[in-house]
C-alpha cells in the first residue's frame, strides 16, 4: 500500500505528536478522506521522517502520533546551490524552482542584477514571493520523493549573494563571454568540495563590472558551452553538470 507523504515545519513536530495544517490538512480530510487510525509519512524538510498514525482528522485540526522516526537517506552528498537572476514571469521562476528541486539542489536563490527586468521591491512582496515559492518546491519534492527541501532565498543584488556564498567551497559564475574557461575545467581543478554555489545572470547577461566584482570575491567565471541558453535553463543545465561531475547524477 502506498503511504502518503507530507512535509511539515519542524515546529509542527513536538512531544511525539505531529500537526498538519494548510492545504495538506484539507487534502487529507477532503480529497483523501483519511481518518483516525490511518498512517501517513511526514517529513520535516531537514532530513527526518516519521510514521504517523492519525488521531484527529477534523476541520479544527489534523493531528497524529509518531509511531516511528528515522534519519532520511541523504538526497545528495555535495550540496549545490543555484543563485539565479530573477527571470521575468512566474512561469520561468517556477520552472527553476521545480527543476532545481527535482535534480537535487540544496538551495535556490533569486536576486536582482543590473540587467534584470523584474526588480525586488519591498519586504511584504518579498515575503509573499518566498511563501509562494516554498509551496512550489514542497510540491516538487513530494513528486520526486526527496527527503529534504531546498532552501529558498531572495537577495537584493549580486553583492548580497556573494556575501551569502562566503561559506561555500567553490563559487562559479556562468558568463557567456567567458573565453577559454569552461565549467568542466573549473570543476576538475576544484578538488574535494562539499558546498558549491552557481551564479547565473538574467536574460541580458551580466555587466562586466558584475563579473569583475565576482572575480574579486573569489568566484570562478566560466562558460557553459558554445550556445547561448535561456537564463532559466542555463541555471538548471549548469547545476546538473556540476551534480554529474561530482557523481550525484548519471
Where do the domains of the chain lie? 5-71, 79-245
CATH code for the structural domain at 79-245: 3.40.1280.10
pLDDT of res. 77 = 83
Residue 207: the pLDDT is 94
- Residue 168 pLDDT greater than 90, yes or no: yes
**Mean per-residue pLDDT, 229-248:** 93
Average pLDDT over the chain, rounded to an integer: 90
Say if residue 174's pLDDT is above 60: yes
In this structure, what C-alpha cell is assigned to residue 55? 488521531
Supply the pLDDT for residue 119.
66
241 has a pLDDT exceeding 60:
yes
Q: Is the CB of residue 37 less than 8 Å from the CB of residue 65?
A: no
Residue 134: is its pLDDT beyond 80? Answer: yes
- What are the pLDDT digits (tens) for 26-41? 999 999 999 999 999 9
Residue 61 pLDDT > 90: no
Superfamily of domain 5-71 in the CATH hierarchy: Hypothetical PUA domain-like; domain 1 (2.40.240.20)
Considering the chain, what percentage of its residues have pLDDT values greater than 70?
96
pTM over 0.75: yes
Q: What is the pLDDT of residue 40?
A: 93
User: Who's near 202: CB < 8 A, 6+ residues apart?
Assistant: 85, 86, 87, 113, 115, 116, 117, 231
- Residue 116 confidence (pLDDT) above 90: no
Contact indicator for 173, 216 with CB cutoff of 8 Å: no
- Considering only 3-7, 35-39, 124-128, which range has the smallest mean pLDDT? 124-128
Tell me what the mean pLDDT of segment 57-66 comes to.
91
185-204 pLDDT tens trace:
999 888 888 999 999 999 88
Amino acid at each position: 500500500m502506498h503511504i502518503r507523504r507530507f512535509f511539515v515545519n519542524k515546529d509542527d513536530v513536538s512531544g511525539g505528536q505531529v500537526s498538519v495544517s494548510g492545504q495538506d490538512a484539507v487534502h487529507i480530510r477532503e480529497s483523501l478522506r483519511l481518518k483516525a487510525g490511518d498512517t501517513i509519512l511526514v517529513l520535516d524538510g531537514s532530513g527526518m521522517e516519521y510514521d504517523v498514525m492519525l488521531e484527529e482528522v477534523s476541520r479544527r485540526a489534523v493531528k497524529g502520533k509518531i509511531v516511528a522516526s528515522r534519519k532520511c537517506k541523504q538526497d545528495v552528498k555535495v550540496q549545490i546551490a543555484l543563485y539565479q537572476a530573477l527571470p521575468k514571469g512566474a512561469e520561468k521562476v517556477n520552472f527553476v524552482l521545480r527543476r532545481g528541486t527535482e535534480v537535487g539542489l540544496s538551495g535556490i536563490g533569486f536576486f536582482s542584477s543590473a540587467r534584470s527586468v523584474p526588480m525586488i521591491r519591498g519586504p511584504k512582496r518579498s515575503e509573499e514571493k518566498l511563501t509562494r515559492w516554498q509551496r512550489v518546491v514542497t510540491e516538487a519534492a513530494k513528486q520526486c520523493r526527496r527527503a529534504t527541501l531546498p532552501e529558498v532565498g531572495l537577495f537584493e543584488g549580486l553583492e548580497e549573494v556573494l556575501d551569502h556564498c562566503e561559506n561555500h567551497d567553490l563559487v562559479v559564475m556562468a558568463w557567456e563571454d567567458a573565453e577559454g574557461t569552461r565549467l568542466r575545467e573549473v570543476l576538475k581543478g576544484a578538488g574535494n568540495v562539499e558546498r558549491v554555489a552557481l551564479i547565473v545572470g538574467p536574460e541580458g547577461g551580466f555587466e562586466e563590472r558584475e563579473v569583475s566584482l565576482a572575480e574579486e570575491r573569489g568566484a570562478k567565471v566560466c562558460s557553459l558551452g558554445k550556445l547561448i541558453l535561456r537564463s532559466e535553463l542555463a541555471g538548471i543545465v549548469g547545476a546538473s553538470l556540476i551534480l554529474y561531475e561530482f557523481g550525484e547524477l548519471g
